Amino acid sequence: MEAKTKDLWVFIETNEDGSPKKVGLELLNPGRMMADKQGGKLVAVVIGDNVAESVEQAGIYGADQVIVVEGPEYKQYTTDAYVKALYHLTEKYGPTTIMIGATNNGRDMGPRFSSRVKTGLTADCTSLDIDEETGNVAWTRPAFGGNLMATIMCPDHRPQCGTVRPGVFKKPEAGENKAEVIKEEFHVAPRPSRGCQRGSW
Amino acid sequence: MNILVCVKQVPDTTQIKIDPVKHTLIREGVPAILNPFDGYALEAAARIKDKDPGTKIVVVTMGPPQATAVLKECVGIAADKGYLVSGRTFGGSDTLATSYILSHAIKKIEETEGKFDAIFCGKQAIDGDTAQVGPEIAEWLDLPQVTYGLEIEATEDGFKVQKEAEDGMQVIGIKSPCLITFTKPSFDPRYPTIKRKLMANKAKFETLGDDFDPTMDAANYGLNGSPTHVKKSFTPPVKSGGMKIKEETGEESAKKLAKILVDNNIV
Ligand SMILES: Cc1cc2nc3c(=O)[nH]c(=O)nc-3n(C[C@H](O)[C@H](O)[C@H](O)COP(=O)(O)OP(=O)(O)OC[C@H]3O[C@@H](n4cnc5c(N)ncnc54)[C@H](O)[C@@H]3O)c2cc1C
């Protein structure tokens, strides 16, 4: 996909009650540094149900813009609905970078999303920067059971994507909420016919 | 039931040492093993076969010719057949490229083995550690997915999967055909039996080489077809060793620990 902007997106994963998972807010911290170096906006993408609190927090912790997709079909995470929504937003707005918290859901959604876009995804990063020479994100991650660190880049595909390990970065300082909020109406069938449903063992 | 299990041969990363001078991984002498998570995926398939003996289990691995060793091991444990995907042009593939090749290989294997009701993968390979290849194969093949599977049961039109979630356990119903990745369950996978080992020693494995599917686009695999590139690698700084607290009694140890935590403003 072509990047239409220099914007950096942070995916804010929500709990079932609509509050944000910590890792999304943590990522606004390196996200700010990287968005500034990239010369674009820091955008928080919130998907969930009744997400007012998450939208507010994303603004308080420094997002320039918050894009919101809201609906009962997003109350519980499903691969199908979340990947469709994130894909739709990406196609429409064309960010240059997307960061996703490496929670179980984030690592379920990330590769499904990046392979739909046909772009690169760096897994479970623990350190982030912008490469001065090329302007690409330099994603650093452990491999070989933590015995090796690798710095990975995705030079020719956009958006460049990575999942980032929770607890590595601290939440930024809270500040005045100046974020512009964009509500996107995007809905998917609540129960995909072939798909996954919660049940009991 | 027809199940395909994707397996990878990996270095036993628990035995990898770091060269203290060059700061590189010492790979010599490190045994190549079946990725443990793929062993859990195979065990899940074997448990389905225990209940439904008509089940066929096929394994596939992509790697150099010596990766046939893991196919053999899988036949020794429970698999009925195995395929090796091996070609020079496949080398250097990142996860997107790897999943592209494997998804084409799966379609090719289905021409011989029939449609698979389910594709099982490990949650992650212990060398690359990305946990991305499973969901990416599911996307190329347009299959629903469940990740972090622990236990599985066949249902009328698919499977019931118990999966690990951050806040406990979830049970997901999924229709077949589908793709499921497995993490470490609470039980140990079975060992090979002598009888199966003898069978495995005689087993022949078909190889899908560079040109197994002429419709594959070379721009989508290999080093040049991979969107991500490893720019540099280095060994992490050595973690400073922990601290041992071992007083006369448990109570004294606990008190000492509490004092250290309080003195250092940790609690
Ligand atoms: C240090 C280092 C870091 C890397 N980081 C990244 C990265 O961040 N992003 C990226 O896209 N690539 C990365 N790669 C490339 C990646 O390791 C390879 O593409 C590798 O072939 C597949 O990834 P994995 O080992 O992480 O597998 P995983 O995605 O962890 O494997 C999951 C499951 O997929 C199946 N599977 C995986 N490989 C095979 C196979 N060869 N044959 C059969 N089944 C298989 C198995 O069931 C396995 O359990 C990195 C490589 C190195 C050396």
Quick one: pLDDT at residue B177? 96
User: If you average pLDDT over residues A20-31, what whole number do you get?
Assistant: 98
Whether the predicted pLDDT of A167 surpasses 90: yes
In the A/B pair of chains, how many CB contacts fall below 8 A?
151
CB burial readout A103-133, b (16+ within 10 A) else e: bbbbbbbbbbbbbbbebbbbbbbbbbebeee
Give the start-to-end residue ranges of the domains of chain A: 8-184
Closest CA to B120 of B38, B33, B29, B212: B38
* Alpha-carbon span A8 to A21, nearest angstrom: 19
User: Please, are residues A111 and A79 in contact by the beta-carbon 8 Å criterion?
Assistant: no
Cβ–Cβ below 8 Å for B172 and A119:
no
Residues of B in contact with A142 (CB under 8 A): 129, 236
Average the pLDDT over B229-234 and give the result: 93
Asked whether residue B90 carries a pLDDT value surpassing 80, the answer given is yes
- What is the percent of chain B where pLDDT is above 90? 85
- Helix pair B133-140, A104-117: axis angle to 10 deg: 40
Helix residue spans in chain B (DSSP H): 36-51, 68-77, 95-113, 133-140, 194-202, 250-263
- Among candidates A78, A196, A70, which has minimal Cα distance to B159? A196
Q: Which residue type, as a one-letter code, is found at position B187? A: F
By Cβ distance, the residue of A138, A143, A194 closest to B144 is: A194
pLDDT in tens, B21-60: 777 778 788 999 999 999 999 999 999 999 999 999 999 9
Q: Say yes or no to pLDDT of A28 above 70.
A: yes
Q: Which residue in A119, A115, A98 sits closest to A163, CA to CA?
A: A98
CB-based contact, A151 to chain B, within 8 Å: yes
A201 pLDDT band, cuts 50/70/90, is low
Q: Which residue has the tokens 């540099």?
A: B232
Report the distance separating Cα B251 and Cα A12, nearest Å: 43
Nearest CA, atom 38, ligand 1? B8
Which residues form ligand 1's pocket by a CB distance below 6 Å? Answer: A 120-123, 141, 143, 148, 150, 152; B 6-8, 35, 37-38, 60-63, 93-96, 98, 102, 121-122, 124-125, 127-134, 228, 230, 233
Tokens read off for B219: 């721009």
Distance B98 CA to ligand 1 centre (A): 7
Fold observed for domain B2-220: Rossmann fold (3.40.50)
The answer to whether residues B12 and B31 touch, using CB atoms and an 8 Å cutoff, is yes
pTM equals 0.94
What is the spatial distance between Cα B45 and Cα B56, in angstroms, rounded to a whole number? 9
Query: Which tokens is A114 given?
Result: 């990046």
User: Which of B205, B190, B203, B193 lies closest to B45 in space, CA to CA?
Assistant: B190
Q: What are the tokens at B58?
A: 């096929």
Residue nearest to atom 15 of ligand 1 (CA): B94
Give, using CA atoms, the residue closest to atom 24 of ligand 1: B128
* Stretch(es) of chain B classified as CATH 3.40.50.620: 2-220
What does the pLDDT average to over A170-174? 95
A189 touches chain B (CB under 8 A): no
| B133 Cα nearest atom in ligand 1 | 29
Per-residue pLDDT tens digits for B101-149: 999 999 999 999 999 999 999 999 999 999 999 999 999 999 999 999 9
Closest residue of B to A201, CA-based?
B171
Candidate from B18, B164, B173 with C-beta closest to A196: B173
CB B149 within 8 A of CB B163: yes
Q: What is the pLDDT of residues B51-82, one digit of tens each?
A: 999 999 999 999 999 999 999 999 999 999 99
Selecting from 3.40.50.620, 3.40.50.920, 2.60.120.1600, 1.20.1260.10, what CATH number does the domain A8-184 have?
3.40.50.620
Q: Among B145, B170, B173, whose Cβ lies nearest the Cβ of A112?
A: B145
Cα–Cα dist A168/A108, whole Å: 20
Instruction: Return the DSSP state at B116.
Output: -
Measured from the Cβ of residue B15, the count of other Cβ atoms closer than 10 Å reads: 12
A148 and chain B in contact, CB less than 8 A: yes
Average pLDDT over residues A37-57: 98
At A191, is the pLDDT very low, low, confident or very high (cuts 50, 70, 90)? low
Q: Do A120 and B146 touch (CB under 8 A)?
A: no
Q: What are phi and psi of B42, to 5 degrees?
A: -65, -40
- The contacts of residue A35 (CB under 8 Å, 6+ apart) are A7, A8, A41, A42, A64
Kindly report the backbone phi and psi dihedral angles of residue B81, in degrees, each rounded to the nearest multiple of 5, phi listed first.
-150, 160
Q: A15, A121, A130, A140: which to substitute to probe chain B, counting the most B Cβ within 10 Å?
A: A121
